[in-house]
Chains A and B, each alone.
Chain A
Amino acid sequence: DAKTTQPTSMDCAEGRAANLPCNHSTISGNEYVYWYRQIHSQGPQYIIHGLKNNETNEMASLIITEDRKSSTLILPHATLRDTAVYYCIVGYTGNQFYFGTGTSLTVIP
């Protein structure tokens, strides 16, 4: 039932920008794009979400294509603590988040 497609894993050098892609070609007009991450043995942590416009907060930037069929999460200066599984979620289908398997990001020293 997952509505998004993400690469299984990615590596990023410490201090560089991490760009995590997500495809959501079946997104409907009122559905948001959410990003969460999960560090080992912790609950998912909210990062950012958006509808149409690009968004930025203290953690990351979210770039959504004009047709809204894909998006990219950008961590501008990755640190070792950013190593986690990143989930791209399209919602809100009856308030249920379909997490899928996410992208396992490893930040390399």
Chain B
Amino acid sequence: EAGVVQSPRYKIIEKKQPVAFWCNPISGHNTLYWYRQNLGQGPELLIRYENEEAVDDSQLPKDRFSAERLKGVDSTLKIQPAELGDSAVYLCASSRGQLVELLGETQYFGPGTRLLVL
């Protein structure tokens, strides 16, 4: 079974340019997460989807970040315009999203997209 797929793996852009990251979760996983990981820190949640609905986007900087999961499967995270401080690794994760609290749901992570803003 394929894991979480992300592309691109690396991206270098100049500040003020737009950038987009793509994620395809594990087949059958209803819940999808986008995390950002700064150098030397643990991942921090940006947004969580249950199917196509964004149920937690409180940490997403909405002035420049947007995300979508139109058909409840793959997802795109966009930054426009990018700033120097956006340089980080952007991680996508997925989980089955069923009976979460009772069953101790496990999140599975993709390899991440490493973004460098110059």
Residues of A within 8 A of B (CB): 30, 32, 34, 36, 41-46, 49-51, 87, 92, 94-102
Contacts and interface: CB of A to CB of B under 8 A. Distances in A.
Closest 6 CB pairs of A and B: A99-B42, A43-B109, A32-B104, A44-B109, A96-B45, A43-B111
- Chain B interface: which size bin? 20 to 34
A43 B109 CA distance: 6
B79 interface: no
Given A101-B42, A102-B42, 11 more contacts: A30-B102, A42-B112, A43-B91, A43-B111, A44-B109, A50-B104, A92-B104, A95-B48, A95-B95, A96-B45, A97-B43
B42 A95 contact: no
Main secondary structure, interface of A, reads loop
Main secondary structure, interface of B, reads mixed
Nearest to A45: B109
B11 to A, nearest CB: 14
Nearest to A98: B42
A92 B91 contact: no
